[in-house]
Amino acid sequence: MCPLPYQLLFSESWWPVIYQRTIHFPSMNEVRITGFGGSLRRGSYNRMLLNSAKSLMPEGSRLEIAEISAIPLFNQDLEANPPEPVRVFKKSIKDADGVLIVTPEYNYSIPGFLKNAIDWASRPYGDSAFEGKPVAMMSAGGRLGGARAQYHLRQVFVFLNMKPVNLPEVFVMNPQTVFDGEGRLKDERVRENISELLSALVSKCRENGAMRKD
């Protein structure tokens, strides 16, 4: 007597079980998030915030950080054939299921370098990398922990047709007491706040039908 019929053993439905549970390869349904932002200064609290999100991603998800520091000023003459740093940035967003933006507040709004990167990746018209993607944001520093910058960013998401996570909000006030000298998160309440936001983002990606097939 044959213990397992040949067709059953080699049927495609068995492979995810063997693949995921026995060998512990990454799940084929892993949610990929591209994160960007921070500020360009050494010692940026927002960069620390972005880095700390990496280890707080829920199971079955992954955060990759995209660099925006080398992106030149937007020039619409070049949007159809953009410079290499823009190409790389735009691809990392297109390949992701969702987006995490970490922004300081500059003059009650979004810093220019961040808006510049968003403008590049949203163009040319009809080929935006952001179309229909779930997005979450966090901010650190300033009097209100960057709240006013976040509300301006939400306005930008309307035209980009993104799907923002509404709650929880992550506004890190007094970041000098939240991170240690090595830039590591040391505040448990902020850690929980970030974890909740990331879980909400990943759930939104799953709802968005973002289960990756490759």
Ligand X SMILES: Cc1cc2nc3c(=O)[nH]c(=O)nc-3n(C[C@H](O)[C@H](O)[C@H](O)COP(=O)(O)O)c2cc1C
Give the tokens for residue 160: 């980009």
Q: Which residue has the tokens 């995810």?
A: 16
Q: State how far the Cα of 214 lies from the Cα of 212, in Å rounded to an integer.
A: 6
| Least distance CB 140 / ligand X (angstroms) | 6
| Least distance CB 187 / ligand X (angstroms) | 16
Task: Tell me whether residue 134 or residue 145 sits nearer to ligand X (CB atom).
Answer: 145
Count CA atoms within 13 Å of residue 141 on its CB side.
20
Task: Tell me whether residue 82 or residue 111 sits nearer to ligand X (CB atom).
Answer: 111
Footprint on this chain of ligand X (rule: CB under 6 A) = 38-39, 41, 44-46, 104-108, 140-144
Task: Tell me whether residue 35 or residue 104 sits nearer to ligand X (CB atom).
Answer: 104
How far is CA 115 from each of CA 7, 50, 69, 83, 160, rounded to the nearest angstrom? 55, 17, 12, 17, 12
| Least distance CB 167 / ligand X (angstroms) | 22
Task: Tell me whether residue 96 or residue 140 sits nearer to ligand X (CB atom).
Answer: 140
SS3 assignment for 22-36: HCCCCCCCCEEEEEE
Of 148, 145, 136, 201, the closest CA to residue 171 belongs to 145
Q: Which residues pair with 64 in a beta bridge?
A: 34
Does an H or E element contain 90, and which? helix 84-94
| Least distance CB 83 / ligand X (angstroms) | 25
Task: Tell me whether residue 49 or residue 210 sits nearer to ligand X (CB atom).
Answer: 49
Q: State how far the Cα of 151 lies from the Cα of 148, in Å rounded to an integer.
A: 5
| Least distance CB 32 / ligand X (angstroms) | 24
